[in-house]
Amino acid sequence: MDPAAALPPLPGSPGGPALPDVEELLEHAVAVSLPMSVRFRGTDVRRALLLRGPAGWAEFSPFPEYGPVEASRWLAAAVEAGWQGWPAPVREAVPVNATVPAVAADDVEGVLARYGEGIAAVKVKVAEHRPGGGLVPGSHSADLARVRRVRELLPDAAVRVDANCGWTVAQAVAMLTELQDVGLEYAEQPVPGIRMLARVRRMLRERGVATPIAADEAVRKETDPLAVAQADAADLIVVKVQPLGGVRRAAAIVEAAGLDAVVSSALDTSVGIAGGAALAAHLPRLPHACGLGTAALFAADVVSPPWRPRGGALPAPGGVAPAPDPDLLRRVRDDADGQRWWAERVRAAHAVLAGTAPDGTRGAGADGVQ
């Protein structure tokens, strides 16, 4: 049997929750652009569409380069948040990590300061690529300096790195061997794909490097999100609510994978971050801090106060997202072109979920990067 078939069906699929029609989805939708204080994932502005259904507010924010098939999962997560609500939490607070983008080592202290007191885990981005492809020149030494600066500033914190598939197998093995003295909590997606991930993990073990390997893109980008666990390619998985189609689907993937999970953000606004906190609060086991502190990287948000960590933790939101503040919304609202761009993306993603897309695709596969 295909283990992925046991996951909760997507809205609009046989046996799945009802899929509202496009007009209903868009009735209260507001497109926003949030300026960022720290450049992340190659952008200074995070664009998102906020929707309001009978259950509450929801976010649909697939990255601009994502096509309809991949975006359809993000729409499924929004339908769950706004038209169904989230499952009950088993804990009241969720520990979170600070996220340090690929900044110069001298700027690390300033980034960490944005997360406030009490941060016990830090994720450091490494292996940054130029927009046209290829590692940024000097990235290896810049990565080592950035990670070591974090360790210097926070000697007791759990430090993890995320390469977003940016290294070759040889580069990953060399860098993770070099970083042994830092005592990394884990290395997230050092190389692309499941087979390469398994190779890095095996080669590190052969060298006596015990750094655990976490799978991120190999879970959210593969047609079968469970394949990574079946291939014994990772020690833990990173799960994100929007790319995996909602809190219930992500929780089912964690359960079926049988691996510990770290819940991370998709650089969502505070509305979407609350969904990540709902998933993290719902999982029976949560041994690692979650990557849900990214609202701290925004210069403006839509919820007051924003869903940012305090004392190293986020509160569990309960069954629905916090409502945006109307004044804040007005300040970051897109113009009519922006609203139309999002409406088209909702239509295209909706057609995939409804099975009416021109090429007949229905919610499978991935068609973007990172």
For the question of residue 123 being annotated catalytic, the response is no
Q: Give the x-and-dash track for 125-154 against Mg ion (CB under 5 A).
A: ------------------------------
SS3 call for 100: strand
Position 288: which residue type? Answer: H
- The whole-angstrom distance between residue 322's C-alpha and the CA centroid of its chain comes to 19
291 binds, among Mg ion, ligand 164, none (CB under 5 to 8 A by kind): ligand 164
Q: Compute, in degrees rounded to 10, the torsion defined by CA atoms 84, 339, 33, 66.
A: 70
DSSP 8-state assignment for residue 329: H
**Which window, 11-19, 194-202, 265-273, 319-327, contacts ligand 164 (CB under 6 A)?**
265-273
357 binds ligand 164 (CB under 6 A): no
Give the dihedral sign, CA 104/105/108/110. negative
Q: Cα(258)–Cα(230) distance, rounded to whole angstroms?
A: 10
Q: Is 242 a residue that touches ligand 164 (CB under 6 A)?
A: no
- Closer to ligand 164 by CB, 164 or 171: give it: 164
What is the 8-class DSSP label of residue 97? -
Neighbours of 318 (CB within 10 A): 17
When binding is defined by CB under 6 A, the residue of 41, 91, 199, 202 that contacts ligand 164 is 41
Q: How many CA atoms lie within 13 A of 269 on its CB side?
A: 36
Is 125 tagged catalytic?
A: yes
- Burial per residue of 189-226, b for 16 or more beta-carbon CB atoms within 10 angstroms, e otherwise: bbbbbbebbbbbbebbeeeebebbbbbbbbbbbbebbb
Q: Residue 35 is inside which H or E element, if any?
A: strand 30-40
Binding mask 157-186 for ligand 164 (x = CB under 6 A): -----x-x----------------------
- Least Å from the CB of residue 290 to ligand 164: 8
Of 47, 129, 240, 350, the active-site residue reads 240
Distance of CA 187 to the CA centre of its chain: 16
Distance CA 294, CA 239 (A): 15
| Least distance from Mg ion to the Cβ atom of residue 238, Å | 6
**Closest distance to ligand 164 from the beta carbon of 15 (Å):** 30
Residue with Cβ nearer ligand 164 (159 or 320) = 159
CB atoms within 10 A of CB 327: 8
Task: Determine, following the binding rule CB under 6 A, whether residue 59 of this chain makes contact with ligand 164.
Answer: no
Residue whose CB is less far from Mg ion, 162 or 268 = 162
Binding part of the chain for Mg ion, among 124-132, 146-154, 158-166, 242-250 by CB under 5 A, reads 158-166
Q: Does 185 bind Mg ion (CB under 5 A)?
A: no
Element (H, E) at 335: none
Provide the β-strand partners of residue 48: 32
125, 160, 201, 248: which one is catalytic?
125
Residue 188 annotated in ligand binding: yes
Cα separation values, 251 from 8, 154, 167, 237, 258, Å: 10, 31, 29, 12, 11
CA distances, 241 to each of 143, 201, 271 (Å): 28, 26, 12
Residue 267 interacts with, from ligand 164, Mg ion, none (CB under 5-8 Å by kind)? ligand 164
Instruction: Tell whether residue 216 is a contact of Mg ion (CB under 5 A).
Output: yes
Query: CB 190 → Mg ion: shortest distance, Å?
Result: 10
CB 83 within 8 A of CB 121: no
Identify what 370 binds: ligand 164, Mg ion, none; CB under 5 to 8 Å per kind. ligand 164
Residue 211 makes contact with ligand 164 by CB under 6 A: no
DSSP state of 257: H
State yes or no: 216 annotated in a binding site.
yes
Judged by beta carbon, residue 266 or residue 351, the one nearer ligand 164 is 266
CA angle (358 as vertex; 356, 363 as ends), nearest 5: 60
Residue positions in the annotated binding site for Mg(2+)? Answer: 162, 188, 216
Contacts with Mg ion by CB under 5 A lie at 162, 188, 216
User: Annotated active-site positions, please?
Assistant: 125, 240
What residues form the annotated binding site? 162, 188, 216
In the complex, the residues that contact ligand 164 under the rule CB under 6 A are: 41, 97, 99, 123, 162, 164, 216, 264-267, 291, 294, 370
